[in-house]
Structure 1
Amino acid sequence: MRAQANRMSRLIDDLLSLSRIELKAHVKPRSVVDLAELVRGVADSLQPLARERGVEIALTLAQASVRGDRDELIRVAENLIENAVKYGQSGGRVDVGVDLGAEGARLVVRDYGPGVAPEHLPRLTERFYRVDVGDSRDKGGTGLGLALVKHILQRHGGRLTIESAAGDGATFTALLEPADAPANVGQDLKRAS
């Protein structure tokens, strides 16, 4: 009963978070956030889970400042890194990187687990979609994590890309506009997705 109550509590929290994000969907965040520092903090907070699952989180962080809502961007990093630790744990390692390139600031999370079959990739960010319902429930998933990530990134003028092949892990890339980007960059990122 306790496990089910905890799962329902997480589900309600995720639904409320999604609702709050959708309410602010057209209000672009203005604060400047150090993405590398934020990701380092999230990775540090997930170290106990990683140790419990036998997974090493390897960081490669370059300086990248973005305009954004700090709490929402923490949620993006938490969801992506935690998913990689939980669902890619058989690979024993999760690489987390932050860099700044021609397309913008990137948060890249790669696991070396079983990967995701191609037919599931287009649906991964749908609400409540799960590749394996039983496995997701066993690991505490609500089916809303990647939907939250997608909506947060859209609110920030960014996008999420997912690359995977069965048996070869998965790579999730959150692309965000840098803090010093011209005003039209966000529109360019939306058109590219």
Structure 2
Amino acid sequence: MAAWPGRQIELVTSSKLCVLGNAAELRSAISNLIVNALKYSEAPVSVRWSDTVVGPELLVEDQGPGIDPKHIPRLTERFYRVDKSRSQATGGSGLGLAIVKHVAVSHDAKLFIDSELEKGSTFRLVFPNDRAVSCDVCSTECGRTDASQ
């Protein structure tokens, strides 16, 4: 996240939990959610990884301008932009959330989007319990000994 020096990301993890799946796709989805939050909010961004009753959940929350409810159903469409004029100011092509949705579908996960104008947005990526494993198991199965690989 070097493109946003000095920006704060609050990271909260409540469990040593991994999700089985395509690592590159999962990194892409997580990166897209965090980059979007940084683009649209000057305030600190909150990222939480937790084990919920329904399964592992990644939550990315910003305090940006929020999204008009009429746009939320279309946000994951390829090339859809809420405000076409923002594309020059913030960059991007309108593919980020489409990629996140694709990754969610391919990992049997669900993407939930909640937003309130002038208050911010929350994006939750919820994986099914059958994709969850402890980090120790994940490292062994992947042949890795640390999370940085």
For the criterion TM > 0.5, the same-fold answer is yes
Q: What TM-score range do you get, normalising by the shorter chain?
A: 0.7 to 0.9
Moved over 3 A (4+): 178-181
Q: Does 2:17 match 1:74?
A: no
TM-score (norm 1): 0.64
1:56: which partner in 2?
A: 8
| Structure 1 unmatched runs, 5+ | 1-45, 182-193
**Distance in 1 of aligned mates of 2:25 and 2:115:** 25
| Structure 2 unmatched runs, 5+ | 134-149
Tell me how far 1:160 sits from its aligned partner: 0.4
1:165: which partner in 2?
A: 116
TM-score (norm 2): 0.83
Pairs aligned (count): 131
Tell me how far 1:177 sits from its aligned partner: 2.4
Tell me how far 1:64 sits from its aligned partner: 1.6
Aligned partner of 2:63 among 112, 128, 137:
112
**What are the equivalent positions in structure 2 for 1:117-132 lying under 5 Å apart?**
117-132=68-83
**What are the equivalent positions in structure 2 for 1:1-150 lying under 5 Å apart?**
46=1, 48-51=2-5, 55-62=7-14, 63-89=16-42, 92-150=43-101
Tell me how far 1:172 sits from its aligned partner: 0.3
**Distance in 2 of aligned mates of 1:137 and 1:157:** 34
CA change 1:161–1:135 in 2 (3 A) is same
In the TM superposition, what whole-angstrom CA distance separates every residue of 1:122-163 from its partner, at most 9, and x where no partner exists? 111011110111212321211111001001110000010000
Percent same amino acid among aligned pairs?
41
1:17: which partner in 2?
A: none
> The residue matched to 2:70 in structure 1 has which SS?
helix
Q: For residue 95 of structure 1, what is the amino acid of its counterpart? A: S
**Distance in 2 of aligned mates of 1:160 and 1:96:** 15
